[in-house]
Structure 1
Amino acid sequence: MKTEPRPALETVLDLMLDAVCVVDANGRFVYVSAACESIFGYTQEEMIGRQMMDLVAPEDRERTLLAAQQVMSGQPSLHFENRYIRSDGRRVDIMWSARWSEADQLRVGVARDITRRKRSESLQEAVYAISEAAHNAANLTSLFEQVHQITGRLIPAPSFFVALNDPDQGNATFPYCKTAGDPAQLPLDPAAALCTEVTRTGQALLLTAHSENVCDNLKLLAATDNFCWLAAPLSTRQGCIGALLLNDTAENATYCEQDIDLLQFVANQVATAIERKQLQARLERMAQYDELTGLPNRAFLFDRLKTALARARRNSERLSLLYLDLDGFKQVNDGYGHGVGDLLLQAFARRLTQHTRETDTVARMGGDEFVVLLESSPTAADTEVVVTHILTAMQAPIELAGLALAIQPSIGVAYFPEHGTDEASLLRRADEAMYQSKSASAQQRPNLQQPVFAKFDITPP
């Protein structure tokens, strides 16, 4: 019977989808099978004689060396995973099985490309991690910090920027920007230019010194900047709100098309999280702040007053509460309409805030009634200073809608603990004092030891 010649071993190895690599004791390739070209991007001739570690991703080199030493000591390695840099700059995830041939002084390994599987796993993990961060993060800054860490597990992100478009200013703001280098040297101008471009196009962008299909502005930037940039738009249902940007300044820094897709995926998740957080913040603000004046509302004041009273009891401190009502406001509303009345309330709120301390809480109770909470054990003299500032500030007419409206508030005051020990009793006493002030003599000097302020002169509209 005729026996067919057996194919050479190398021919058989070249038919394998996995790559077979043989490395000498110095870490140089002495043989690679044909599959290496599809996995690593180099021909067999290009790989023979090269140091294996030159192809390993920098962040994986230390543990790869350790694994190689263990194999050379006689411990076979099964399913060891690391990343390599292909000839085109892309990273590939490799799973190795390797053993050491003592007789030949060679390390023999079989490499399997698991990039797709690892990418799928990483994306699933990223979706979960970003969703969890969006749910648990106390604010957007905390969310961006966690997203930076998550992104860094997918793509090198030594410098990470979140740029949000500011429609009022017409430029980009940076609520989050972190770099591994000198914080004083943050490249915000290039980041802003990239944000503008991806907002305009709605497309992710890779920018290097060799980029060609970019606008003239970015060509000039690429020609003068050796850094490698990656940018992806933050797109929501309302449109593009900004961009996610990565910048790597390492000498061998490189991003690739695959990284563009990854960053765009992350940007989509982040945009959804930002939109959700911003909506949550708006809802919380609507629940706590007056829509017309922007001041804390009644509910916010009660919470703040409750906390302040608990602190005052604990520290044996005093606090005072001012209750304000605009004299003549009804005449303004009736005479000039509710539109002018609203403008007057807004102007009064601004002036009131400007002439109280930062530590004071200024709130709108509703209508033309406002409350100022003074903490830190204010004395009658301290309270008189605040009231005097308010009344003096209100002496100047408020100019709006072509009118000059001279209007002042009646003010009532109540002290803790003298005039009440809880929120309701203090507010009630201050409110009563305010109404007493309305009926008091216009020239009467208020007695600040009592919860009453006199009514001051106003010039009706």
Structure 2
Amino acid sequence: MSVKTYIPPTALVDLLLDAICVVDRDGQFVFVSAACQRIFGYTAEEMLGRRMIEMVHPEDRARTLQAANAIMSGTHQPSFENRYLRKDGSVAHILWSARWSEDDQVRIAVAHDISERKRNEAVQQALYAISEAAHSAGDLSGLFQQVHRIIAELLPVTHFSVVLHDEQADRLNVAYADSQSQPASDPLAGGAEKLCAEVIRDGRALLLSAEARSRRPQYLRGLDCNSLDWLGVPLGASGGTLGVMILQSDARQARYCERDRELLQFVSTQVATAIERQRMLMRLTFMAQHDPLTQLPNREMLHDRLQTALARARREQLHLALLFLDLDKFKQVNDSLGHAQGDLLLQQVALRVRQCLREVDTVARFGGDEFVVLLEDFHSPGHAAGVAAKIQQALGQPFDLQGHSRSVLTSIGIALYPLHADNAQTLLDQADLAMYLAKQDGGNRYQLSPSTEPPPPGAAKRLPDNL
């Protein structure tokens, strides 16, 4: 004889993974199944008698009330999505199926937790957006801003920063920092720099909660006391760790977890790839515009800067000058000491000429032992001659070429806009001609171009001929 066991309805309902909620006409919970505690974090006792709308996310309350009124009017809602706030403050995405019981004057609803599905969808969209940003970003600052915005839609972020490691100087530099607090905290202040160095050295992400910080007192001073979680993720690349991406949160009810660390690790790979690509483009651009021996601008870059300077001089009626430098008897250095010493001399000459100029001025290696200086924004008639004399004096001091002492004499030709020419090529030609005349006259001197072209209409007044 078989024995049948009776299972009470409430016990049967409590076996369901989805939550069953019953709400009266006033919007108060009158029954909730056991699954509610797993989904919302509240016990049944805490939910019964509480108004349903109080647990709904503030942004979703208006449309939730609208849907509730429609259900009480007899409209069946087989699939309605909204967000609830769990007891711990986190957000739960809920898919509801609800109907109104006229006899009992209650709404009966089934709540299916779709938070994990929503998170996965948001993560996939975010990763795609970050991948797109990493491949299309015009500059790193713009990329960091986009990554910050995208991550902030997934995780609580009070402080977001990117710190890069300068291998040559062996120091950390803040490449990006943004904070909701004012004034913003320094990502490298105090113990925070040690944290960044640890992440870069070990190449592993570090999640430091407020509880963990009590076990690392050496880091407490450098971290924002209001920030509960500090998450640093290494920017790993083929050549090593480029830096660290840092998130900090002061959201007490939404803490970082291991899953967040894994997500940020993937994001950091995309960001590191973009940083590597940007650095490669910068290196290629630099190589295309600079002389590899002296690191000075080359002919092409000088031409671009000269064209820009001339356009500005015409527009604002300004003066500019070109100084064409040629080292006297440079061949003797190569012949007597060798080309390696000659290259070293050219590098030291480039450094000394740069030290004679202002930030707004340009010195370029034109080829061989020839250099061209572009002077802008000067008002004194004798400025160009003064710079030429300063350069000659600087180069006249002995150079140490690995134990060999050499002084350098130089011939300098000077051409002025608009006195000698009104276009780039003619100005260069006039400066070159003046340099040639200085060499013919014995060298080790500077010479003003003898040629004078009529200034274009609207150009600045001529400088005096007694420059």
TM interval, shorter chain, is: 0.7 to 0.9
Question: Is the aligned partner of 1:160 residue 2:156?
Answer: no
Instruction: Say which SS state the counterpart of residue 154 (structure 1) adopts.
Output: coil
Counterpart AA for 2:14: D
Report the number of matched residues.
443
Please say if residues 351 and 393 of structure 1, whose CA atoms lie closer than 8 Å, have aligned partners that are also in contact: yes
Instruction: Say which SS state the counterpart of residue 290 (structure 1) adopts.
Output: coil
Q: Distance in 2 between matches of 1:332 and 1:433?
A: 24
State the shift of 1:226 in Å: 5.7
Question: Is the aligned partner of 1:254 residue 2:284?
Answer: no
Counterpart AA for 1:20: I
Please say if residues 198 and 233 of structure 1, whose CA atoms lie closer than 8 Å, have aligned partners that are also in contact: yes
**Residue of structure 2 in register with 1:454 after alignment:** none
**Residue of structure 2 in register with 1:402 after alignment:** 403
Q: Which moved more, 1:193-202 or 1:239-248?
A: 193-202
CA 1:184 to 1:245, structure 2 compared with 1: closer, same or farther past 3 Å? closer
**Residue of structure 1 in register with 2:324 after alignment:** 323
State the shift of 1:320 in Å: 1.9
Please say if residues 200 and 244 of structure 2, whose CA atoms lie closer than 8 Å, have aligned partners that are also in contact: yes
Q: Deviations over 1:329-360 (max 9, x none)?
A: 22222222232222222222122112112111
**Residue of structure 1 in register with 2:434 after alignment:** 433
**Residue of structure 2 in register with 1:62 after alignment:** 58
Q: Deviations over 1:410-448 (max 9, x none)?
A: 111223344444333322222222222112145877446
CA 1:160 to 1:139, structure 2 compared with 1: closer, same or farther past 3 Å? same
Please say if residues 364 and 371 of structure 1, whose CA atoms lie closer than 8 Å, have aligned partners that are also in contact: yes
Instruction: Say which SS state the counterpart of residue 293 (structure 1) adopts.
Output: coil
Please say if residues 324 and 371 of structure 1, whose CA atoms lie closer than 8 Å, have aligned partners that are also in contact: yes
Please say if residues 163 and 172 of structure 2, whose CA atoms lie closer than 8 Å, have aligned partners that are also in contact: yes
User: What's the TM-score once normalised by structure 2's chain length?
Assistant: 0.81
Q: Which moved more, 1:296-305 or 1:250-259?
A: 250-259
Q: Distance in 2 between matches of 1:331 and 1:307?
A: 37
Q: Distance in 1 between matches of 2:294 and 2:105?
A: 81
Q: Which moved more, 1:231-240 or 1:369-378?
A: 369-378
Q: Deviations over 1:257-277 (max 9, x none)?
A: 221122212112111111111
Question: Is the aligned partner of 1:332 residue 2:333?
Answer: yes
Aligned runs of 1:258-407 on 2, under 5 Å? 258-376=259-377, 380-407=381-408
Q: Which moved more, 1:393-402 or 1:429-438?
A: 393-402
Aligned runs of 1:6-25 on 2, under 5 Å? 9-22=9-22
Please say if residues 397 and 407 of structure 1, whose CA atoms lie closer than 8 Å, have aligned partners that are also in contact: yes
Q: Which moved more, 1:7-16 or 1:403-412?
A: 7-16
State the shift of 1:216 in Å: 7.5
Q: Distance in 1 between matches of 2:124 and 2:367?
A: 49
Q: Distance in 2 between matches of 1:50 and 1:192?
A: 48
Q: Which moved more, 1:363-372 or 1:337-346?
A: 337-346
Instruction: Say which SS state the counterpart of residue 413 (structure 1) adopts.
Output: strand
Counterpart AA for 2:185: Q
Q: Distance in 2 between matches of 1:202 and 1:91?
A: 32
Instruction: Say which SS state the counterpart of residue 134 (structure 1) adopts.
Output: helix
Q: Which moved more, 1:106-115 or 1:313-322?
A: 106-115
Q: Which moved more, 1:279-288 or 1:75-84?
A: 75-84
Counterpart AA for 1:167: E
Instruction: Say which SS state the counterpart of residue 404 (structure 1) adopts.
Output: strand
CA 1:104 to 1:366, structure 2 compared with 1: closer, same or farther past 3 Å? farther
CA 1:243 to 1:111, structure 2 compared with 1: closer, same or farther past 3 Å? farther
Please say if residues 192 and 219 of structure 2, whose CA atoms lie closer than 8 Å, have aligned partners that are also in contact: no
Please say if residues 126 and 266 of structure 1, whose CA atoms lie closer than 8 Å, have aligned partners that are also in contact: no
Q: Distance in 2 between matches of 1:369 and 1:361?
A: 14
Instruction: Say which SS state the counterpart of residue 382 (structure 2) adopts.
Output: helix
CA 1:421 to 1:63, structure 2 compared with 1: closer, same or farther past 3 Å? same
Q: Distance in 1 between matches of 2:449 and 2:320?
A: 13
Q: Deviations over 1:177-198 (max 9, x none)?
A: 1111123533523432222222
State the shift of 1:148 in Å: 0.8
Please say if residues 174 and 187 of structure 2, whose CA atoms lie closer than 8 Å, have aligned partners that are also in contact: no
CA 1:252 to 1:127, structure 2 compared with 1: closer, same or farther past 3 Å? closer
Please say if residues 74 and 99 of structure 1, whose CA atoms lie closer than 8 Å, have aligned partners that are also in contact: no
Q: Deviations over 1:51-77 (max 9, x none)?
A: 878877xxxx32033344434554777
User: What's the TM-score once normalised by structure 1's chain length?
Assistant: 0.82
Instruction: Say which SS state the counterpart of residue 185 (structure 1) adopts.
Output: coil
Structure 2: where are the runs of 5+ without partners? 453-467
**Residue of structure 2 in register with 1:455 after alignment:** none
Q: Deviations over 1:38-91 (max 9, x none)?
A: 4445665666567878877xxxx320333444345547775334364575x876
Counterpart AA for 1:416: Y
**Residue of structure 2 in register with 1:35 after alignment:** 35
Please say if residues 37 and 44 of structure 2, whose CA atoms lie closer than 8 Å, have aligned partners that are also in contact: yes
CA 1:232 to 1:13, structure 2 compared with 1: closer, same or farther past 3 Å? same
| Root-mean-square deviation (Å) | 3.6
Q: Distance in 2 between matches of 1:105 and 1:337?
A: 102
Percent of paired sites with the same residue: 46
**Residue of structure 2 in register with 1:147 after alignment:** 147
State the shift of 1:37 in Å: 4.6
**Residue of structure 1 in register with 2:456 after alignment:** none
**Residue of structure 2 in register with 1:458 after alignment:** none
Question: Is the aligned partner of 1:202 residue 2:203?
Answer: yes
**Residue of structure 2 in register with 1:125 after alignment:** 125
State the shift of 1:245 in Å: 0.8
CA 1:429 to 1:195, structure 2 compared with 1: closer, same or farther past 3 Å? same
Please say if residues 14 and 34 of structure 1, whose CA atoms lie closer than 8 Å, have aligned partners that are also in contact: yes
Please say if residues 191 and 245 of structure 1, whose CA atoms lie closer than 8 Å, have aligned partners that are also in contact: no
State the shift of 1:211 in Å: 2.4
State the shift of 1:155 in Å: 1.1
Instruction: Say which SS state the counterpart of residue 188 (structure 1) adopts.
Output: coil
Aligned runs of 1:410-429 on 2, under 5 Å? 410-429=411-430
Q: Distance in 2 between matches of 1:319 and 1:223?
A: 52
Instruction: Say which SS state the counterpart of residue 206 (structure 1) adopts.
Output: strand
Q: Distance in 2 between matches of 1:355 and 1:7?
A: 95
CA 1:331 to 1:30, structure 2 compared with 1: closer, same or farther past 3 Å? farther
Question: Is the aligned partner of 1:192 residue 2:188?
Answer: no
Q: Distance in 2 between matches of 1:311 and 1:221?
A: 48
